[in-house]
Amino acid sequence: MTDHRTSHLTRIPAPEGVAPAAGYSHVVMGTGRFVAVSGQCALDEKGAVVGEGDAAAQARQVFENLRRCLAAAGATFDDVVKLTYFVTDVAHLPAVREARDAVIPADRLPASSAVQVAALFRPELLLEVEAFAVLPAG
């Protein structure tokens, strides 16, 4: 078992006896203040859909919205311990991973889950991502 520590968080990509993770950490733990960010979709500040029909454009907007929400709590992507992806088609996951990789270094990957859903709250939306983060205490 190899773990990767960054300040208040420890990431364990592959616990003993578990197959190595492909693009995420199996376990992330930390101490501090918990932050939950509701699922973010590809909506701009006025509520208009960004990138209709374009999973890559929507994923970039989603991660920008997540960044803004995390910042409002005093957090960054370095503090994220878990991401949950809801996609209307698993074929959108490479675009989601590319947008994620643009903001989260490979040595700081959070735990994650991906779920294909029948639909989101608006038919133009292709994906939604929620985040959990842990900030250092104090």
Q: Which amino acid is at 72?
A: A
Measured distance CA(28)–CA(130) in Å, rounded = 16
Phi and psi at 28, nearest 5°, equal: -135, 130
- Two structure tokens written together for 102: 């643009």
Measured distance CA(133)–CA(78) in Å, rounded = 9
pLDDT in tens, 71-120: 999 999 999 999 999 999 999 999 999 999 999 999 899 999 999 999 99
Domain ranges of the chain: 33-135
pLDDT in tens, 11-60: 898 899 999 888 899 999 999 999 999 999 999 999 999 999 999 999 99
Instruction: State the CATH class of domain 33-135.
Output: alpha beta
Measured distance CA(89)–CA(59) in Å, rounded = 13
Per-residue pLDDT, 3: 55
DSSP 125: -
